[in-house]
Amino acid sequence: MRFLPALVRDRSRWALPMSDRSAAALAELLLADDPPQVAAALAEQLARDPPLVVWAVCLAAQRDGLRLRTIAQVAQWLGQRAIEVLQWESQEEAAPEPADDARMEAFADRVAADLTLADLAAQVAQEAYFDALLHGARDWLALARIGSSHPAAELPADWLRSVSGGAANPHVEQAVAVLAGPEPAESSGLDADASRRRGAEGRQMWMEAVPGAAAFLPVLAARLARLGQLERQFHATLESEKLEALAEFAAGAGHEINNPLAIIAGRAQLLLKDEPDPERRRELALINAQVKRAHEMIADLWLFARPPRPEPQTVDVVPLVDRVIEEFAPQAAQRGVSVRRVGEPGPFEAEVDPAQLAVALHALCKNSLEAMGHHGLVEIGLGAGQAGVEISVSDTGPGITPQQRSHVFDPFYSARQAGRGLGMGLSKCWRIVTNHGGRISVQSGPGQGARFVIALPGKNETGPICQNAPEGASPSADLTPGSAPRLTSDP
């Protein structure tokens, strides 16, 4: 018999037991190609393992603010979060207990009592089974409490709400009364003896040893978590290197193209000066206009490749976001799009260049507006991140496919076929954020809208800023406060 990863709140810890059968089911879940599908099989084991259900319900409430109300929901949540939540602090934490330990016997007796009550409650109403499994949650946490001066009754409020489900289930209360009452159970139409037999069988199954299952589960979970971390680091590094290579190419190409453009523009203006024919004047003016457009595209390339050095200062991001919303609102209103700030009220201080950060936010907002076309919602969220401030920009547009997500920050990449014109806006946004020592990511799927998240270092935590960017290296780059960036699209 081993223990699940400890539930921790303040100075209190609860180590709930893990049966070998559950360990085997969780190991199968970790190794599955499709964890949600295996979660359906896990539900059968959950129905026979009350402490595992109590552990998952409390953890889901603590980590995600969720109230899981069915065994299927618990199985689905574990299928999604298994690698994250099955992390032991040390191998000793999951060490086996002696089989004859009195504490293990108390755990087993508690299992028998819970399964008996759940079986009897299900005779009244099938949906009462889950509530009956959680009926003994306080007793479980009292048995499992370790190294704490707090009594088990002083459980966190979110755990209490999750394990109680609000008002007491009348079907469970009826089953409790039948098991405790002096009157024969037959008078209520319930077979208490059969429930006790099934509870005893469940106890025996819960105590049954499955060689090797519980021993390798902690090691397996730790290695899979490490593998996932390495994969994420690899993809992040690959993406960063790709964009850096594009930046180097953009710098060289911009320089080479800008010179012939200047010659074309100069000759066209010279011819236009002395040209009397209206049709030819129109054609020469068109040449000048296209040269100007090409120059603006090159300026965007330069901003991506060699941006101006940020001038960071301590900024409360909240009023900066409010100004961006105020400036963007008229343009959004013309298309029937609402723009609003959500999240915590702040303040949230970060070391940033406010003008450049405003450009990045404008780029994200305009990208969302172009994605939706007409009618929709753009939300700018603020909150505290792991190392600083997080700013999210979400929209109700058509979303981005997995194939498109790997290219959204590439210069001039366009996904207009999916209703989203990207151009240079997101590329500039990526460059500005990374030059501030931050990160930007996108969460989206077809038909699900898009959510861009900017993670900025907090006050006095800013990393190296734009170390390889010479000052003034970006010609015609518009980074003045309150200015909207140009989102140049493919011609």
* CA gap 489, 491 in Å, rounded: 6
Residue type at 314 in one-letter notation: T
Question: CA-CA distance, 404 to 413, in Å (whole number)?
Answer: 9
Residue 355 near residue 481, CB atoms below 8 Å:
yes
* Nearest by Cα to 99 from 91, 108, 110, 90: 108
Mutual angle of helices 20-31 and 71-85, in 10-degree steps = 70
pLDDT at 51 over 90: yes
CB of 486 within 8 A of CB of 424?
yes
pLDDT on residue 214: 60
More confident residue, 477 or 55: 55
Residue 17's contacts (CB-CB under 8 Å, 6 or more residues apart) are 1, 2, 3, 4, 51, 97, 104, 107, 144
Average pLDDT taken over every residue of the chain: 78
Q: CA-based Rg of the chain, rounded to a whole angstrom?
A: 31
Mean pLDDT value across residues 102-112: 88
- Residue 197: what pLDDT? 92
**Is a pLDDT exceeding 70 seen at residue 489?**
no
What is the CATH T-level fold of the domain 235-305, as seen in this structure? Helix Hairpins (1.10.287)
| Average pLDDT, integer, range 282-297 | 86
Please report, rounded to a whole number, the percentage of residues in the chain having pLDDT higher than 90: 12
User: Token pair for residue 456?
Assistant: 């900025």
What is the SS3 assignment for 351?
A: strand
Structure-token match 């907002």, residue found:
365
Q: What is the pLDDT of residue 464?
A: 41
DSSP state of 147: S
pLDDT band at 33 (very low <50, low <70, confident <90, very high): confident
HEC string of 254-272 equals HHHHHHHHHHHHHHHHHHH
User: Mean pLDDT over residues 155-160, rounded?
Assistant: 74
Question: What CA–CA distances, in Å, run from 330 to 260, 333, 336, 372, 392?
Answer: 39, 5, 10, 16, 21
SS3 454: strand
pLDDT at 490: 30
pLDDT of residue 225: 67
pLDDT score recorded for residue 438: 87
Q: How far is residue 176 CA from its own chain's centroid?
A: 41
pLDDT tens, position by position, 201-258: 999 999 888 776 666 676 666 666 677 777 777 877 776 777 677 667 777 777 788 8
Per DSSP bridges, beta strands 376-384 and 337-343 are parallel
* pLDDT, position 272: 86
Least confident of 57-66, 290-299, 333-342: 290-299
Pick one of 3.40.50.620, 3.40.720.10, 3.30.565.10, 3.40.50.150 as the CATH number of 313-457: 3.30.565.10
Is residue 414 very low, low, confident or very high in pLDDT (cuts 50, 70, 90)?
Answer: low
Q: What type of residue is 410?
A: D
Model confidence at 375: pLDDT above 90 = no
| pLDDT surpassing 80 at residue 78 | yes
CA distance 100 to 104: 7
Q: Lowest-confidence range among 115-129, 230-244, 248-262, 456-470?
A: 456-470
Region of poorest pLDDT, from 74-78, 387-391, 407-411, 440-444? 407-411
- Determine the pLDDT at residue 462: 45
pLDDT: which is higher, 489 or 196: 196
Q: Which residues contact 475 (CB under 8 A, 6 or more apart)?
A: 258, 298, 299, 302
What contacts 24+ positions apart, CB below 8 Å, involve 445-448? Answer: 445/399, 445/400, 445/401, 445/402, 446/398, 446/399, 446/400, 446/401, 446/418, 447/398, 447/399, 448/399
Give 422's pLDDT tier (boundaries 50, 70, 90): very low
pLDDT band at 71 (very low <50, low <70, confident <90, very high): very high
Q: Pairing state of beta strands 388-395 and 450-457?
A: antiparallel
Choice between 266 and 346, residue whose per-residue pLDDT is larger: 266
Instruction: Select the more confidently predicted residue: 278 or 217.
Output: 278
Residue ranges per domain, the chain? 2-211, 235-305, 313-457
Q: Which of 179-193, 230-244, 434-448, 455-469 has the lowest mean pLDDT?
A: 455-469
Q: How much is the pLDDT for 179?
A: 86
Is the pLDDT score of 60 beyond 80? yes
